[in-house]
Amino acid sequence: MAEIYKLIPSGFSFKKVDGYNKVLPITIGKYFEHARGVGTDLYIVKHYTKLSSTELARGYVPTGAVENAHELRQKQIKLASKLDSTKDKASAYISSPTMIYQSKEDEYAMVFVSCKDGYIGCGWYDHAATPKKGLKLAAFVLYALGVINAKVDETLWEVTYNYLPYDSELGRSEVADEIIFDSMKAEVIRRNNEPTKVVRLTNSDDDNGNN
Please tell me the predicted confidence (pLDDT) of residue 207: 66
pLDDT number for residue 64: 67
**Helix, strand, coil abundance in the chain, percent, nearest 5:** 45, 20, 35
Look at residue 142 in the predicted model and tell me its pLDDT.
98
pLDDT at residue number 164: 97
pLDDT at position 198, please? 45
pTM: 0.86
Return d(Cα 160, Cα 121) in angstroms, integer: 12
**What is the full per-residue pLDDT of the chain (211 aa) written as tens digits?**
444 444 455 556 788 999 999 999 999 999 999 999 888 999 999 999 999 999 999 999 986 677 788 999 999 999 999 999 999 999 999 999 999 999 999 999 999 999 999 999 999 999 999 999 999 999 999 999 999 999 999 999 999 999 999 999 999 888 999 999 888 887 776 666 654 444 455 444 456 655 4
- The reported pLDDT for the residue numbered 206 is 59
pLDDT the model gives residue 12: 66
In this prediction, residue 10 carries a pLDDT of: 57
Cα distance between residue 130 and residue 135, in whole Å? 9
Q: Which of 133, 132, 93, 134 is nearest to 114 (CA)?
A: 93
Rounded CA separation 202/101 (Å): 29
Crossing angle (nearest 10°) for helices 25-34 and 133-148: 140
Cα 123 to Cα 83: distance, rounded to the nearest angstrom: 6
| pLDDT score at 52 | 95
DSSP string, 38-92: -SEEEEEEEEE-SS-EEEEEEEEEESS--S-HHHHHHHHHHHHHHHHHHHHHHHH
